[in-house]
Chain A
Amino acid sequence: MDLVENRIDSNRLDALLYRRAVKRAGLLSYFLGVGFGVYGFTSIGFIQHFSPEASVWSNTWPRLLFCSVPLFLLGLFSRYSNLSERVRLLLWTIGFSIVFHVTSWIYVWPLVLKGYPEILLYVGPANTYLFAALYAVVAPPVAVLGRFTLIVTSIFVIPLFIVTYLGHSAVVLQSVLNDMLLALSASTFLGWFVDKLHTDIAKFQLGKETEASKFLGPVVSKAIFSNEAERLKSVRCRGFILSLDLRNSTELQKTYSTQWLEFRKAYFALVGELVSRHNGYIQKTVGDAHVINFGIMDYGVDLSDIPGIEIELEAADNARLKRASHSAFAFIYDLFHRAHELSAQYFAGKSVLIGAGLDKGWVERGIQGSEAHSELDVNGDPVNCSSRLQEYSKLLLKEFPSSSILAASPFASDYIDVTEFKTISTVENPIRNYQSIKWVLVYSYSNAEEVELAPVIELRSKIQKTAA
């Protein structure tokens, strides 16, 4: 939790706490608006005890007009005002304290001044509950708790003490002083405690967002947490899809179980790092395989609905694809090289091989799935084709033994210098489901011996035994 807390932006935390405090204050206004209206009916019994001429009507309409209506307006203000949350909370506190003050002048304080201070003993419990509700529900952030208490004290509590003093009853004054000071201090503590809980919840929420961002990736987390929902809109565009797989991973896992798992972890971190560096996006991982796209997540704004800019859009699209092409191939060069270095660390200078397939074409980016589970996905023919090309690269191991191999479709080679690649005909061994592709471009990387699999090791030990 501490590690998470350190990464939470304090401004975001403050904004969240104030926003929620204002929201709660608004809700409390509506609730107390109804409560003060009802109090006109429920308080008439003891008011008539001191003032027999009081009627339900005369006790109710001023409460409705001067308490319920202003409290409803205060609720609307806190919800719809354009002012900042801090200012809204301040104004709400002042407004609420004034309403609280005004309501006391309906029968209660005038009766005290007329010589019936005992009536305060009847309204005391209601005041105590009100204070508790005020602090527990609003729970103003601790930075403004002092100011909050000061406003309530200045506008309501001190005038209450003055009115009680003017009632000329030492017993009532002592009782009111005692009750109010206890209620105020207990409520302030309650407010502080509840705010602490709210702060912990807010920190937890923001911490979870920070943590979730790591797993959701840059696109989805920005869309969800930074209100950039347009990033999740469906877009049809051209882009590069790369499928990667580690060769013989099942056998390697059987042979080097723990060592392999450690290598696999490091390899995934390496892929993540390189994808990020080359502006790609890891779309899926299945076992040891990755599906990565380039030039799709950074497609930018969709302008396909604007007529008359087709030439400019084509130019922009070509620039994007050229960039994506360079990123995809640069990623492959880096990955083959770095993966070799990495596997050399884990397997005594020997190399784990990678097979890769790359295709370019039209894809659809968007949210897919059900209400229960949705994900940002990229679909289209290039996804299947790149997978088949990756599969096809296994066949090429005969021609490029002990090599990591990339098989790129002819469409993926539009923006690169093909002299570094070998062109291999696929007529004799057609690509599964893509017989129309008559040739592929192949890039291979071979710089070390391949990591040996269990059968080879067994065979070698048998030979050694036989020789011995």
Chain B
Amino acid sequence: MSIPKMTPEEIEVFMRKKTALPVPTLLTVFLILMFAIPMAAAVTPIFVAPSTVLKIVAATLSPFVFAFLHLLVAGLLSMPFHKAIVPGKFPRNLSHFVYGPRRLYAICWTAIFYCTPLYHAFLSVPQTRKLMFWLFGYRGHSEVAIAPDAWIRDLPCLKFSKGVYTANKCTIGTNMCLSDGTIFVENITLGENTMIGHMVIIGPGTHTEGQVELGVNSAVGIRPRFGANCRVGPGCSVNHGAEIGESADIGPASYIGVKAKIGSGIKMPSASNIPDGSVVQTQADLDAILRNERNELLGLKQTLRHSFADRVKKGA
């Protein structure tokens, strides 16, 4: 379903292809089913229990029954639409043959994800966590730590290896709405023991090898690659298509431009600015780029100073 290489005519056909499903109606039906079935199953025993003791037992168990059935119904309803959670670029139109089913999957997932106390409870128990992720199409490693407020969606697009840790408030952005009215979806692959820090935002197509650390509050664009053991300091911005080599160390608050390449083992000081398309293969390359940046800034400072002095003179 992805559209990496198509002729313009094929893209046109792809973009116009409709789904036979009545998606808007099904969205309502799914919402009702996801809440009504668990609610009925949780409440009915309270009314039909023959004795007061059994009524109390039924009432005590009813939240658990509701929670479990809510997860089960939502997960089962989402299953036929896993195949719509695929990389590609699709028009944000409910009648589209990929986007329509995506919305149906999304309504099921968000019914769980936005119900924070339930989601938190499911995540806390390993068995329910595994069940929940499996029901929603996650097929990566089960030994991963995902914070309850870490934003994840499109679970079939997540390829997590063992030991991945995603901290609180981070965003694992498998999809991105674009200004041209489409949605862009791509897999996110995180290697063994990758650490996604607090409030980090990673974009579609991010690929990390093992032992990568993305520091607090960093932002990562579309399709960047991170080599094994590399470390990105807090507050960094890694733009689209950038490639960070093995064991590279990006200092805090640095900027890595579009399609820039940082070689293996490069140690970058804090607040480094690597322009779009640059290649840093050696420490000397880095020094040259930083020197160039500094000279440009000094030149700018001199120009501003002269222009200020001129204005002061003219004013005087």
* Of A307, A317, A323, the contact of B180 (CB 8 Å cutoff): A307
Residues on A with C-beta less than 8 A from B143 are: 82
Contact A305 B89 (CB under 8 A): yes
* Of A298, A306, A312, A323, the contact of B276 (CB 8 Å cutoff): A312
Q: Is B120 an interface residue (CB 8 A)?
A: no
Residues on A with C-beta less than 8 A from B260 are: 316
Query: Complex formed: what's the CA distance from A106 to B260 in Å?
Result: 67
Residues on B with C-beta less than 8 A from A233 are: 4-5
Residues on A with C-beta less than 8 A from B225 are: 301
Contact A301 B259 (CB under 8 A): yes
With an 8 Å Cβ cutoff, the count of chain B residues facing the other chain is 31
Contact A308 B258 (CB under 8 A): no
Stretch at the interface among B41-49, B94-102, B238-246: B238-246
Q: How large is the interface on A (under 10, 10 to 19, 20 to 34, 35 or more residues)?
A: 20 to 34
Q: Which of A309, A316, A320 has the most CB of B within 10 A?
A: A316
Known: A82-B141, A315-B276. A303 touches B240 (CB 8 A): yes
Q: Is B93 an interface residue (CB 8 A)?
A: no
Q: Is A318 an interface residue (CB 8 A)?
A: yes
Q: Is B227 an interface residue (CB 8 A)?
A: no
Query: Complex formed: what's the CA distance from A305 to B5 in Å?
Result: 10
Q: Is the interface of B mostly helix, strand, loop or mixed?
A: loop
Q: Is B22 an interface residue (CB 8 A)?
A: no
Contact B179 A316 (CB under 8 A): no
Query: Complex formed: what's the CA distance from A303 to B205 in Å?
Result: 11
Q: Which of A298, A300, A315 has the most CB of B within 10 A?
A: A300
Q: Is A395 an interface residue (CB 8 A)?
A: no
Residues on B with C-beta less than 8 A from A316 are: 241, 257-260, 276-277
Residue of chain A at shortest CB distance from B203: A306
CB distance from A314 to the nearest CB of B (A): 9
Contact B178 A319 (CB under 8 A): no
Contact A301 B277 (CB under 8 A): no
Residues on B with C-beta less than 8 A from A317 are: 259, 277
Query: Complex formed: what's the CA distance from A318 to B260 in Å?
Result: 12
CB distance from B157 to the nearest CB of A (A): 16
* Of B3, B223, B279, the contact of A303 (CB 8 Å cutoff): B223
Contact A300 B180 (CB under 8 A): no
* Of B141, B222, B275, the contact of A306 (CB 8 Å cutoff): B222
Contact A315 B275 (CB under 8 A): yes
Query: Complex formed: what's the CA distance from A233 to B4 in Å?
Result: 9
Residues on B with C-beta less than 8 A from A303 are: 222-223, 240-241, 258-259
CB distance from B103 to the nearest CB of A (A): 22
Residues on B with C-beta less than 8 A from A323 are: 279
Q: Is B119 an interface residue (CB 8 A)?
A: no
Query: Complex formed: what's the CA distance from A317 to B279 in Å?
Result: 12
Residue of chain B at shortest CB distance from A319: B277
Contact A315 B178 (CB under 8 A): no
Query: Complex formed: what's the CA distance from A313 to B275 in Å?
Result: 11
Interface string of B158-202 (1 = CB under 8 A from A): 000010000000000000001110001000000000000000000
Q: Is A169 an interface residue (CB 8 A)?
A: no
CB distance from B229 to the nearest CB of A (A): 16
Residue of chain A at shortest CB distance from B204: A306
Residue of chain A at shortest CB distance from B140: A82
Query: Complex formed: what's the CA distance from A313 to B279 in Å?
Result: 15
Q: Is B264 an interface residue (CB 8 A)?
A: no
Q: Is A249 an interface residue (CB 8 A)?
A: no
Contact A307 B179 (CB under 8 A): yes
Residue of chain B at shortest CB distance from A80: B139
Q: Which of B241, B243, B257, B279 has the most CB of A within 10 A?
A: B241
CB distance from B281 to the nearest CB of A (A): 9
From residue 243 to 290 of chain A, which have CB atoms closer than 8 A to chain B? none
* Of A298, A300, A307, A319, the contact of B241 (CB 8 Å cutoff): A300
Query: Complex formed: what's the CA distance from A298 to B277 in Å?
Result: 11
Q: Is A199 an interface residue (CB 8 A)?
A: no
Q: Is B82 an interface residue (CB 8 A)?
A: no
Q: Is B270 an interface residue (CB 8 A)?
A: no
CB distance from B70 to the nearest CB of A (A): 26
Residues on A with C-beta less than 8 A from B4 are: 233, 305
Q: Is A234 an interface residue (CB 8 A)?
A: yes
Contact A315 B142 (CB under 8 A): no
CB distance from A3 to the nearest CB of B (A): 27
Contact B259 A300 (CB under 8 A): yes
Known: A307-B179, A318-B277. A312 touches B257 (CB 8 A): yes
Interface string of B266-292 (1 = CB under 8 A from A): 000000000111110000000000000
CB distance from B175 to the nearest CB of A (A): 13
Residues on B with C-beta less than 8 A from A308 are: 178-179
Q: Is B261 an interface residue (CB 8 A)?
A: yes
From residue 97 to 114 of chain B, which have CB atoms closer than 8 A to chain A? none
Query: Complex formed: what's the CA distance from A233 to B239 in Å?
Result: 22
Query: Complex formed: what's the CA distance from A305 to B240 in Å?
Result: 12
Residues on B with C-beta less than 8 A from A313 are: 258-259, 276
Query: Complex formed: what's the CA distance from A318 to B205 in Å?
Result: 24
CB distance from B238 to the nearest CB of A (A): 12
Contact A315 B5 (CB under 8 A): no
CB distance from A262 to the nearest CB of B (A): 34
Query: Complex formed: what's the CA distance from A323 to B239 in Å?
Result: 20
Query: Complex formed: what's the CA distance from A233 to B162 in Å?
Result: 28
Query: Complex formed: what's the CA distance from A101 to B162 in Å?
Result: 34
From residue 306 to 335 of chain A, which have CB atoms closer than 8 A to chain B? 306-309, 312-313, 315-320, 323
Residues on B with C-beta less than 8 A from A320 are: 259, 277, 279
Residue of chain A at shortest CB distance from B181: A307
Query: Complex formed: what's the CA distance from A317 to B277 in Å?
Result: 6
Residue of chain B at shortest CB distance from A236: B5
Query: Complex formed: what's the CA distance from A214 to B145 in Å?
Result: 41
Residue of chain A at shortest CB distance from B5: A234
Query: Complex formed: what's the CA distance from A309 to B260 in Å?
Result: 14
Query: Complex formed: what's the CA distance from A319 to B225 in Å?
Result: 19
Query: Complex formed: what's the CA distance from A323 to B278 in Å?
Result: 9
CB distance from B243 to the nearest CB of A (A): 6
CB distance from B17 to the nearest CB of A (A): 18
Contact B178 A307 (CB under 8 A): yes
Query: Complex formed: what's the CA distance from A85 to B260 in Å?
Result: 37
Query: Complex formed: what's the CA distance from A308 to B240 in Å?
Result: 12
Q: Apart from A315-B275, A316-B259, what 18 extra A-B contacts exist at CB < 8 Å?
A: A233-B4, A300-B241, A300-B243, A301-B205, A301-B225, A303-B222, A303-B258, A306-B184, A307-B179, A309-B258, A312-B239, A313-B258, A313-B276, A315-B257, A315-B277, A316-B276, A318-B277, A323-B279
- Nearest 6 A/B pairs, CB to CB: A319-B277, A316-B277, A301-B241, A316-B259, A316-B276, A315-B276
Provide 12 A-B residue pairs closer than 8 Å at the C-beta atoms, listed in order of the A residue. Answer: A301-B224, A303-B223, A303-B240, A303-B258, A306-B184, A308-B178, A309-B258, A312-B240, A315-B257, A315-B275, A316-B257, A318-B277
